[in-house]
Structure 1
Amino acid sequence: MRPRVIFFDAVGTLFRVRGSVGQAYSQAAAAYGVSVDPQALDRAFAQAFASAPPPACAGLLGSSLLAWERAWWRQVVRQTFAGVGSLAAFGEERFEAFFARLFEYFAGADPWELYPETLPVLQALQGEGIRLGVISNFDSRLPKVLQALQLEGYFSSLTLSTQVGHAKPDPRIFQAALETQGIPPAAAWHIGDSYREDYQGAKAAGLRALWLDREGKDSACQERIENLWGSLPLLNALERN
């Protein structure tokens, strides 16, 4: 079935961190007199992010939700710098100022870059009359990021884990996205770079799932694409059938 809507993951699918998280954290910390190796920060961030609870808290709205999102990320950043033994170098007051600056920095365009094929693929899909949406384990900064990257005009819905109260791979976040678009699961595709969160999560919710395997981790997956261009031949194949 030709999809009526194609949903995309955000980070790692449409755009990525410019350089690395460790580089961004290291540069920001240097402005506060704290010198940390970027590669060590990359490793510590990966561990802190993996051990954090799902970025979702049901029942919060407005300022309460924003405060929860900041607290979630504050803990990840604290654990990252604690993991490299540099948290104490800030002191509590300077760390709070550093974190506030870092949190706002990642709401803009500077730390992000689009994948080369992102805009051409989105334009091609829009030209086919297919609605596009985003399903992401991001937070309320995502609309600002999409606007800064000039992507906001392509998407008719944004479904965020912190706002829905359920994070991928929980099928309820996919169900929320489908309800926003007013379509059944069989009428939607989802494309994302996480095998567990995007591919398995979307399939469990009844969507057609495409795994964006940019690093070539598993060539055996039948619904695997190496970049976003790979979605277009699959769409064209439906037209021929």
Structure 2
Amino acid sequence: MRRVISLDSTGTLLNISKSVGHQYLRILDSFFPGSLSAQDKTLLTKEFNVNMPLHYKEALKKNPNFGHGSIGVYEWWKGLVRQLYLSSHIDMKDYQFSLLFDDTYNQFRTTNCWDMYPETIPVLEEIQARGIDVVVTSDFDVGLVNILRQHGLFKPDDISSSLVKEVITSYEQGLAKPDLLKLVKEKWDITVHVGDSYERDVVGAEKIGVLPIFVDRGNSGICKLHPSVQTLSGILDYIK
């Protein structure tokens, strides 16, 4: 029987290209070309980077798991993006916002907005070569499946050759970590979970009796009791 490990997605396998502020500014600027000065663009990028995490946290508090069982993922993101623009005093007609949001929503579900870390594919290939399967466990919405598919990590139509065997998200299950990790452990009997959030990934895995490996790209040194690596490549030392 093959062993199975769990990996987080954002900050572990991939991340937003450049920054979230850059992506929202890029899409906004493409809809209203020439309307923003260079100074406006710099200021808005900074504001988006600061305000997005605040609105994201508030939206999750109001409707957990990206609106699972309540407003749904599309309306969840639509409300959040509207608040993001309003907090930067960007106003537009309703039909303009609807068109802009549709494009934003769709782009964030593609490789247009997400980059893989350079070591991601080589590490996953080595894990596969060692006879170990990978499931991705993430506090994310259903768009993650398409992102991983476009990056070549997940092949739902050819699981036998896929580097990732299953993608399990908090939106689909209506659960966030550590409860989401508990569900994955019950289904896959995972022995290791790898992630970049100390609270959600390290503490969450510890609570369910799974070995956590902390991806500490910023070298914070916060994780003292469990394995900590600065890049995904480092996990190979702990997975034999």
Q: Which residue of 2 aligns with 1:24?
A: 23
Change in Cα spacing, 1:51 to 1:92, as seen in structure 2 (3 Å) is same
Shift of 1:43: 0.9
Change in Cα spacing, 1:206 to 1:125, as seen in structure 2 (3 Å) is same
Q: Which residue of 2 aligns with 1:94?
A: 96
Shift of 1:205: 1.7
1:142-167 Cα shifts (integer Å, max 9, x gaps):
11111110110211121110111111
TM-score by length of 2: 0.85
Change in Cα spacing, 1:140 to 1:101, as seen in structure 2 (3 Å) is same
Q: 2:234 aligns with which of 213, 226, 230?
A: 230
Q: Which residue of 2 aligns with 1:205?
A: 208
Q: Which residue of 1 aligns with 2:108?
A: 106
Residues 192, 212 of structure 2: 8 Å contact kept: yes
Residues 157, 180 of structure 1: 8 Å contact kept: no
Number of equivalent positions: 220
Q: 1:45 aligns with which of 44, 47, 52?
A: 52
1:198-232 Cα shifts (integer Å, max 9, x gaps):
11111112211111110111255232111111111
Structure 1 runs of 4+ aligned residues shifted over 3 Å read none
Amino acid at match of 1:129: G
1:69-124 Cα shifts (integer Å, max 9, x gaps):
111111221221122111x2x22221111111000001111211110111111011
Q: Which residue of 2 aligns with 1:13?
A: 12
Shift of 1:57: 5.1
Q: 1:55 aligns with which of 61, 65, 88?
A: 65
Between the aligned residues of both structures, percent identity stands at 27
Work out whether 1:160 is the aligned partner of 2:169.
yes
Residues 123, 232 of structure 2: 8 Å contact kept: yes
TM-score by length of 1: 0.85
Inter-partner Cα distance in structure 1 for 2:216 and 2:57: 19
Query: Unaligned regions of 5+ residues in structure 2, if any?
Result: 155-161
Inter-partner Cα distance in structure 2 for 1:101 and 1:142: 17
Inter-partner Cα distance in structure 2 for 1:195 and 1:103: 28
Amino acid at match of 1:215: G
Amino acid at match of 2:215: L
**RMSD of aligned residue pairs (Cα, Å):** 1.9
DSSP-derived class of the 1:154 partner: coil
Residues 135, 159 of structure 1: 8 Å contact kept: yes
Change in Cα spacing, 1:11 to 1:220, as seen in structure 2 (3 Å) is closer
Q: Which residue of 2 aligns with 1:176?
A: 183
Query: Unaligned regions of 5+ residues in structure 1, if any?
Result: 237-241
Shift of 1:52: 2.2
